Each structure stands twice: as C-alpha cells, then as structure tokens.
Amino acid sequence: MLVRILAIESSCDETAAAVVQDGRKVLSNVVASQEEHKLYGGVVPEIASRRHIEVISQITKQALSLSKCELQGIDAVAVTDAPGLIGSLLVGVNFAKGLALSANLPLIPVHHLRSHIAANYITHPELTPPFLCLVVSGGHSHIIEVEDYTGLKVLGQTRDDAAGEAFDKAARTMKMPYPGGVHLDKAAERGNANAYKLPRPTVQGSEYDFSFSGLKTAVINRLHNAEQKGEHINVENMAASFRAAVVDCLMENFVKAAQNLGYTKLAAAGGVSANLLLRRRLFEECKKRGWQAYIPGLALCGDNAAMVGAQAYYEYQKGNVATMSLNAVATLNIDTLS
Ligand code: KG4
Ligand code: ZN
C-alpha cells in the first residue's frame, strides 16, 4: 500500500510543506523563503517565527492541493522538531500537532540533518544505506555514517564555525548580500583559486573534525588590512581562494574517513552541498577511486519539506511516531531520537 506523508519544515527562515509518496516520490514541494532577513545581514529569530505563523497554513494548503491528494489521501503528518531556531521550530511543530490531531493521523518527528541526508533518496532512487555523508549547512559540518535509514553515527564535526557560516561571513566581508554562500560561489567561478594563500586548518588529534574559524578570520583580516592600506583586492580571486580552502578541508577529511572505514558510497547534503566546487570535487575524488558519489539536485540542497517527507517514511516504518506531547528542541544529536 502507498504511504503518503504531508511534511512540514520551519526550522530556520524557510516555511515549507510537501507531500511525498513512499519516501522517494515528491507529489508536491512548496517553499516560501523569508526575504526580510537580508535587511539585517542574518536571520532575526523573532521575525522568522512571526513570518512562519503568517504563511504556514497557506503553504500547507498549497502543498496539499498541488499533490492532488486532499487531507483524506494523507497517511501521516511529519514535522522537523530539531535542531534549529526554537521559535521557528515551535511554529511547525504546533501546526503539525494540530493537523495530526484534527485529522486523526500519526505524527512523525524528523531530525533536520537526517532530512538533509534523505534529500539524496529523492534525487537518487537507487541509493540505499550504508554510505558516508558529508552534511554541510549554515549550522553544521558533520561527517556521518549512515548505517541504515534511522541508524546514524557522527564520525567528525566542526569544532567552531560551520562551513556555511564561514562562507556567509567571508561573503559579508566581501560586501555580498545575505546569505552570501551562493554569491561567493558564483564570484569564485570567475576567479583564480591560487591568487591568495590561505590556511587549511586541521584539528590536532581528531582526524575527522573540522575547524573553520581560523580560515574565516584569515580572509576577514586580509580584506580589512587591504582596505586600511588602500590595497586593491580582486574579489573574484579572493572568493575562489577561500572556496578552494574550505572545500580542501572538507574533502580531505571526508575522503580519509571513507578510506579508513571502507565506504565506497559517498554523499553530500545540506545548503553548502549546492556549492559548485564541492559538487565537482566530490565527483572527481569518487571517480578516481571507483567510488559512487551522490548529491541532491540543487533545489533539494537548501531547506525544504520534501526531504522531511523522505526521511519521515523511514522513521514511520521504524515506528518512530510522536505523541501530542512532542516539543521542539533547539539542539539534538543526529543519533538521538526525539
Ligand atoms: O541547509 P541550509 O539551507 O540551512 C541550514 O540548515 O543551515 O544551509 C544554508 C547555508 C547558508 O550558510 C548558505 O550560505 C549556504 O548554505 N549555501 C552555500 C551555497 N548555497 C547555500 N554555501 C556555499 N556555496 C553555495 N552555492
Ligand atoms: Zn538546513
């Protein structure tokens, strides 16, 4: 029997709803991005929660109507319950609880990073665990062993800034609009990655962990010093040099982890997996070694609800269903169930 899940995502500044069939087939996928945060150069949590409240029921209605199944055709409601901005998460969780209760449907809580990984199941229907996944977003940089759909283990993670955060801060110093990662990526495509020398920090004694704050500070200091001295900096070259340094750090540990643990299927996920250099490098490194590379299609890299519906299918099969006492949680390990 087909399982159709209505999924809701509101962990940061995207309000999203989707209907996904059997974890892999997207029947509808609606995402509303909040543009207002651009004015402030970052997400303002209070504004984010308010905007979620304003649009969540309209977005959900749209997702239901585009999927051609009304609420009667839905088997379960899924929602991102952790991690994220607590006020934002609460809007989605409470909306989903109300919907599940009124329609008498099971409620499935989904971990945000698990759902980012599951975006790969939509783009690559042939992908099945076990595989190794690099999850890189605005708040996380993790190397994760996906042992099975609901059994995940953190192998390495950032000790300070997430890769997306470093991209955004570097981009801001280069006077690019928020969120700057995508703008920096575009500028980097036209630049020379060898133009500026930047460090590739490692974490002593933890071969799979990352550290991006030193690299971020190096680029910010370089730009500020140049400004003070009136020295010209080629932004495209600086963007390319910075991007290459971040991607080198990520790929170095990721490939080492795969080699050491014997993984031959490597996936990437999260907002930063939209990065063009990271995408090329993952495919190149895998091709060299006869490994398989998986990355979600560009539209599924950032926050969306289709990926929540994909992961929810496997959580549901495993019996991970919540009661009406489900609460949102701002921080939660990927290997802990809600
Ligand atoms: O997964 P996501 O949409 O939200 C979080 O869960 O954090 O990730 C957002 C992050 C932002 O830092 C954004 O700048 C970054 O992903 N990002 C990129 C690119 N597209 C989005 N970073 C580098 N290159 C890109 N093309
Ligand atoms: Zn995300």
85 close to 303: Cβ distance less than 8 angstroms: no
Residue with tokens 């590739």: 200
pLDDT at 229: 96
Atom number in ligand 1 closest to CA 274: 26
User: Using CA atoms, how far apart are residues 273 and 295, in angstroms rounded to an integer?
Assistant: 7
The ligand 1 atom at the shortest distance from the C-alpha of residue 84 is 6
Does residue 41 surpass a pLDDT of 80?
yes
Ligand 1 centroid distance, CA of 124 (Å): 21
Nearest to 275, CA basis, from 311, 306, 246: 246
Q: Which atom of ligand 1 is nearest to the CA of 168?
A: 14
Which residue's CA is minimally distant from atom 2 of ligand 1? Answer: 271
Burial of 156 (0-12, 13-18, 19+ CB in 10 A): buried
Q: Which residues surround ligand 2, an ion (CB under 5 A)?
A: 137, 303
CA of 202 to the centre of ligand 1 (A): 22
pLDDT tens for each residue of 199-222: 999 999 999 999 999 999 999 999
> pLDDT tens for residues 250-290?
999 999 999 999 999 999 999 999 999 999 999 999 999 99
The predicted structure's pLDDT at residue 194? 98
**Per the structure block, which two tokens stand in for 274?**
């939209």
Residue identifier of the C-alpha nearest atom 21 of ligand 1: 271
Cα 58 to averaged position of ligand 2 atoms, centre (Å):
22
What is the rounded distance in angstroms from the CA atom of residue 86 to the CA atom of residue 47? 12
Cα(186)–Cα(193) distance, integer angstroms: 13
Neighbours of 154 (CB within 10 A): 16
Rounded average pLDDT over 43-63 = 97
141 and 124 Cβ atoms separated by less than 8 Å: no
CA-only gyration radius of the chain, Å: 20
Q: What is the mean pLDDT of residues 183-189?
A: 98
In angstroms, the CA 28 to CA 30 distance is: 7
CA atoms within 13 A on the CB side of 247: 25
Instruction: Please report the atom of ligand 1 found closest to the CA of residue 165.
Output: 12
What are 146-170's pLDDT values in tens digits? 999 999 999 999 999 999 999 999 9
Of residues 336 and 206, the one with the higher pLDDT is: 206
146-154 long-range CB contacts below 8 Å, 24 or more apart?
146/117, 146/267, 149/311, 149/314, 149/315, 149/317, 149/318, 150/114, 150/314, 150/315, 150/318, 150/320, 151/335, 152/114, 152/117, 152/334, 152/335, 153/335, 154/333, 154/334, 154/335
φ, ψ of residue 83 to 5 degrees: the values are -85, 170
Q: Does the CA dihedral 150-153-159-165 come out positive or negative?
A: negative
Whole-angstrom CA distances from 314 to 14, 146, 212 are 23, 13, 33
pLDDT of residue 337: 64
Q: What is the pLDDT of residue 1?
A: 87
- Closest ligand to C-alpha of residue 136 is 1
- Between the CA of 198 and the centroid of ligand 2 the distance, in Å, is 27
What separation in Å is there between the alpha carbon of 228 and the centre of ligand 2? Answer: 36
Centre of ligand 2 to C-alpha 226, Å, is 34
Mean pLDDT over each residue of the chain, to the nearest integer? 97
Residue 335 has pLDDT above 90, yes or no: no
Average pLDDT on 306-315 reads: 98
* Residue 17 pLDDT exceeds 90: yes
Rounded to the nearest angstrom, the distance between the alpha carbon of 208 and the centre of ligand 1 is 21
Angle between helices 112-123 and 306-317 (to 10 degrees): 100
Residue nearest to atom 14 of ligand 1 (CA): 181
Ligand 1 atom 24: residue of nearest CA: 275
pLDDT of 336:
77
Q: Between the CA of residue 278 and those of 245, 281, 301, what are the distances in Å?
A: 11, 5, 12
Please answer whether residues 210 and 254 qualify as being in contact, where contact means their C-beta atoms are separated by less than 8 angstroms: no
Q: In whole angstroms, what is the distance from residue 38 CA to residue 60 CA?
A: 25
What's the pLDDT score for residue 241? 98
Going by pLDDT thresholds of 50, 70 and 90, the confidence category of residue 338 is low
φ, ψ of residue 196 to 5 degrees: the values are: -125, 135
pLDDT value at 109 more than 80: yes
Q: Write down the H helix ranges in the chain.
A: 45-67, 86-103, 112-123, 163-173, 181-188, 213-229, 235-261, 276-289, 306-317
174 within 8 A of 188, measured Cβ to Cβ = no
**Ligand 1, residues at Cβ distance < 6 Å:** 12, 137-139, 164, 167-168, 179, 181-182, 185, 270-272, 274-275, 302-303
